[in-house]
Structure 1
């Protein structure tokens, strides 16, 4: 016979408490799994993008074919470049520097297709017989350096 009285339902409270704790643990565990998966997906995209950029930078192969200096109608420098790589590239900046000055020229649309040649003419007041260091930067961050004298 069951005991009736003050303590007859004490077993029910422990069952309800255990069920509430298990439910809470299941909800928190699910939250951690979802958060971890979304965090992993975000990091995976960052790594994939970084890897693609690095591989593309390695595949860039820009060669300077000819640098010549002109004076008509004003002094200028013409740089002819060949893209020997298998991906297209964009020249975004060319910097001329001497022992006393440094000039940067920004470009927004100087694309050179794979296995093609491109030429850029830049107005620049150079001095005769003073060597100029030339730095060419691509949109992926590759830098090509050379030196020329007028």
Structure 2
């Protein structure tokens, strides 16, 4: 059994959760993957497609009943750290300065993403460099970079 055939769990707030719990958590926070707005869903979670039909992604798709794109191995994005879906560090700081409740923050960020005001990109080509003193110098990430999308 190889690394890409081993299913994984999701971790939210330092706790493992099931695909069903993720679905319920999203809906409870105002994001319903079954909403007609979402034609397809991307599960931006490292190793979410590992395990094929037993994977986290395959199980999550059973709840959303829509086409889903997930990933074997790591996912590299345009943000170095993206907590709670699309909330990048600068957005979290802006929202914190406004003293908004977490639910309001999530809704504003989701709306900003939907409107295109907050761009988000998954790297489909290796963005890292093995050349010292360059902006994206990171030999470990360069060697381990892999883009392996899987559709369910």
- Give the TM-score normalised by structure 2: 0.20
- Give the TM-score normalised by structure 1: 0.21
Which is greater in Rg? 1
Higher relative contact order (CA 8 A, sep 6+): 2
